[in-house]
Amino acid sequence: MGHTLTEKIITKHLLEGKLIKGENIGIKIDQTLTQDATGTLAYLQFESMGVSKAKTELSVSYVDHNTLQTDYRNADDHRYLKSIAAKYGLYFSKPGNGICHQLHLERFSIPGKTLLGSDSHTPTCGGIGMLAIGAGGLDVAAAMAGELFYFKMPQIINMHLIGELSKFISAKDIILEILKRLDVKGAVNRILEYTGPGIKSLSVPERATITNMGTETGATTSIFPSDENTKKFLYAQQRVNDWKELKSDEDATYDGKIEMELNEIEPMIALPHSPGNVKPVKEVEGVPIDQICIGSCTNSSLRDLKIVANIFKNRKIKDDVSVTISPGSRQVVNHLIKSGEMSYLIKAGARILENACGPCIGMGQAPSTDSVSLRTFNRNFIGRSGTKSASVYLVSPETAAVSALMGKITDPRTFDHSIEITMPEKFIINDNMIVPPSSTPEKVKIIRGPNIKPLPSFPPLKDKLKGEILLKVGDNITTDHIMPAGAKILPLRSNIPAISEYVFNIIDSSFSNRALNRNGGFIVGGDNYGQGSSREHAAIAPKYLGIKAIIAKSFARIHLDNLINFGIVPLTFNNLKDYQSLDQGDIIEIDLTSLELDKVVIHNLTKNNKITTKHNLDKRSLQILKVGGKLPYIRQKQN
The DSSP line for 50-100 is: T-SS--SSEEEEE--S----SSHHHHHHHHHHHHHHHHHT-EEEPTTSB-H
Q: 5-264 maps to which CATH number?
A: 3.30.499.10
pLDDT digits (tens, 9 = 90+) for 319-343: 999 999 999 999 999 999 999 999 9
For the chain, the first-to-last Cα distance in angstroms comes to 43
> What span, in angstroms and rounded, lies between the C-alpha atoms of 354 and 357?
8
pTM, two decimals, is: 0.96
pLDDT at 363: 87
> What span, in angstroms and rounded, lies between the C-alpha atoms of 19 and 153?
7
Which fold does the domain 268-414 belong to in CATH? Aconitase; domain 3 (3.30.499)
pLDDT at 453: 87
Q: Residues 174-177: contacts with CB within 8 Å, 24+ apart?
A: 174/210, 174/260, 174/262, 174/265, 175/209, 175/210, 175/212, 175/213, 175/214, 175/216, 176/213, 176/268, 176/269, 176/270, 176/278, 176/394, 176/396, 177/260, 177/265, 177/268, 177/278
Domains 5-264 and 268-414 share a fold: yes
pLDDT at 42: 95
- Judged by DSSP in three states, 525 sits in strand
> What span, in angstroms and rounded, lies between the C-alpha atoms of 303 and 313?
15
Q: Is the dihedral of CA 184, 138, 34, 75 positive or negative?
A: positive
Taking the domains of the chain in order of start, what are their residue ranges?
A: 5-264, 268-414, 464-638
Which residues of the chain are modeled with pLDDT < 70? none
pLDDT at 612: 95
pLDDT at 402: 98
pLDDT digits (tens, 9 = 90+) for 209-223: 999 999 999 999 999
Q: Nearest to residue 413, comparing CAs of 404, 402, 400?
A: 402
Helix orientation angle between 72-88 and 36-48, rounded to the nearest 10 degrees: 50
Strand 91-93 with 58-62, pairing: parallel
Cβ contacts of 625 within 8 Å, gap of 6 or more: 461, 564, 567, 569, 595, 617
Q: 464-638 maps to which CATH number?
A: 3.20.19.10
Full DSSP string of 260-328? EEGGG---EEEPTT-TT-EEEGGGSTT-B-SEEEE-TTTS-SHHHHHHHHHHHTT----TT-EEEE--S
pLDDT at 488: 86
pLDDT at 490: 86
pLDDT at 331: 97
Helix orientation angle between 630-638 and 36-48, rounded to the nearest 10 degrees: 30
> What span, in angstroms and rounded, lies between the C-alpha atoms of 29 and 41?
20
